[in-house]
């Protein structure tokens, strides 16, 4: 294993903050999930969602690591995402485009070596027409709507297509899939309803491997596994079991650099809108990241930071998060020096992604994918086999 940039280094000083991404943890999380589903009589395999640039962490870096960990099925949202990572993994490993081909782009998708997920009669017809022009059946996944009312062929459409023997002419179905709406709430009745619907509706389609569960769905149990699971968020350290201890290894560490410190008297306000007013003499550290870096403005006067050498002292964010900066109350550190250049953790071992997201009034998915491009990024790499 090669370790680079776990702490703020010289290059990181050029930026206001540093984002460290632990690729070895992503690989470990994949192996954990793969091991869970493999207990299902060795029937189920584990794919990976690397959409939204692998949840903002760099799909070009993440995809090869997952391939080395054993992943043989990848999922992206858009054609452009698939094209950008196609050459980072082996050509015989399918990359599924969840949104299917935009109108008029089926040929481009095929030439890019990607596999569409067909969600509508229009996409089905476009793929059939391309197959007819090419004179051969073309692989595709078919998505059905099992009750989320988001993407996929409806029950009415599937029943109508089942009456036409030419409905899937020219299509080589390599996967039948759907998506759960409430998998993160294990007791929600929609989970069982969607399972029943998926079983019934998938029987109307040509025989192919089936997939229903993503990250949280894996923890509903083997009834939801079928042939393939498609975790995304859990790979990147987000807890797939809200309200319970998270089984996944943390993947990201976000640090911000201290630009300046100052002492203010009782009664002094801080930042835009005078949102915070000191109730005591207060030491303030100004950090060089803000909502322009994807650290949410909604964390104003709610989030916290940690000095890594003193992890038991919680340092509240005070005042309003600005575009390029935020203020932290460091009074409770006493006389501990916090000179310019000091790195404070905003996400890390003592302030988890979920805790930071909750303070911002959002979820880990959104906070993670919003973290912007101004950070100095470094990776803890997994050595190639």
- Known catalytic residues are 51, 272
CA angle 155, 157, 162 (to 5 degrees): 95
DSSP string of 3-63, one letter each residue = E--SS--TGGGGSSEEEEEEHHHHHHHHHHHHHHHHTTTT--EE-EE-HHHHHHT-HHHHH
The whole-angstrom distance between residue 263's C-alpha and the CA centroid of its chain comes to 39
Secondary structure of residue 117 in the 3-state scheme: strand
Burial bucket for residue 123 (CB in 10 Å: 0-12, 13-18, 19+): buried
Secondary structure of residue 369 in the 3-state scheme: helix
What sections of the chain are H helices per DSSP? 23-38, 51-56, 59-68, 79-85, 106-111, 121-134, 155-162, 189-202, 353-359, 364-370
Query: On the CB side of 30, how many CA atoms lie within 13 Å of its CA?
Result: 27
DSSP string of 135-173, one letter each residue = TS-EEEEEEB-SSSSSSSB-HHHHHHHHT-TTTTTTEEE
Residue 255 has φ and ψ, to the nearest 5°, of -120, 145
């Amino acid at each position: 294993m090669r370790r680079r940039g776990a702490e703020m280094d010289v290059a990181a000083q050029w930026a206001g903050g540093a984002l460290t991404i632990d690729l070895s943890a992503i690989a470990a999380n994949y192996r954990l999930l793969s091991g869970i589903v493999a207990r299902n009589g060795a029937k189920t395999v584990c794919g990976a969602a690397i959409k939204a640039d692998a949840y903002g962490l760099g799909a070009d870096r993440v995809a090869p690591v997952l391939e080395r960990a054993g992943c043989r099925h990848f999922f992206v949202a858009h054609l452009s995402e698939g094209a950008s990572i196609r050459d980072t993994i082996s050509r015989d490993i399918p990359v599924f485009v969840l949104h299917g081909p935009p109108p008029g782009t089926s040929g481009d998708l095929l030439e890019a070596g990607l596999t569409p997920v067909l969600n509508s009669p229009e996409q089905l017809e476009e793929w059939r027409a391309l197959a007819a022009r090419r004179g051969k059946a073309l692989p595709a996944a078919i998505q059905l709507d099992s009750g989320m009312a988001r993407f996929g062929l409806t029950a009415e459409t599937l029943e109508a297509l089942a009456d036409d023997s030419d409905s899937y002419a020219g299509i080589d179905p390599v996967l039948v899939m759907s998506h759960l709406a409430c998998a993160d709430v294990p007791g929600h009745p929609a989970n069982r309803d969607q399972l029943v619907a998926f079983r019934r509706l998938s029987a109307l389609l040509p025989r192919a491997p089936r997939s229903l569960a993503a990250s949280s769905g894996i923890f509903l149990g083997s009834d939801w596994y079928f042939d393939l699971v498609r975790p995304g968020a859990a790979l990147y350290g987000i807890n797939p079991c809200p309200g319970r201890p998270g089984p996944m290894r943390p993947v990201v560490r976000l640090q911000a650099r201290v630009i300046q410190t100052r002492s203010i008297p009782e009664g002094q306000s801080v930042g835009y809108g005078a949102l915070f007013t000191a109730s005591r003499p207060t030491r303030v550290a100004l950090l060089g990241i803000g909502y322009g870096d994807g650290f949410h403005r909604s964390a104003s006067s709610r989030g916290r930071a940690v000095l890594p050498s003193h992890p038991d002292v919680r340092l509240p964010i005070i005042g309003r998060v600005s575009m390029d900066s935020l203020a932290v109350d460091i009074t409770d550190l006493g006389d501990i020096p916090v000179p310019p250049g000091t790195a404070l953790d905003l996400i890390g071992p003592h302030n988890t992604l979920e805790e930071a997201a909750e303070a911002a009034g959002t979820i880990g998915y959104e906070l993670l994918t919003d973290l912007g491009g101004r950070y100095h990024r470094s990776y803890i790499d997994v050595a190639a086999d």
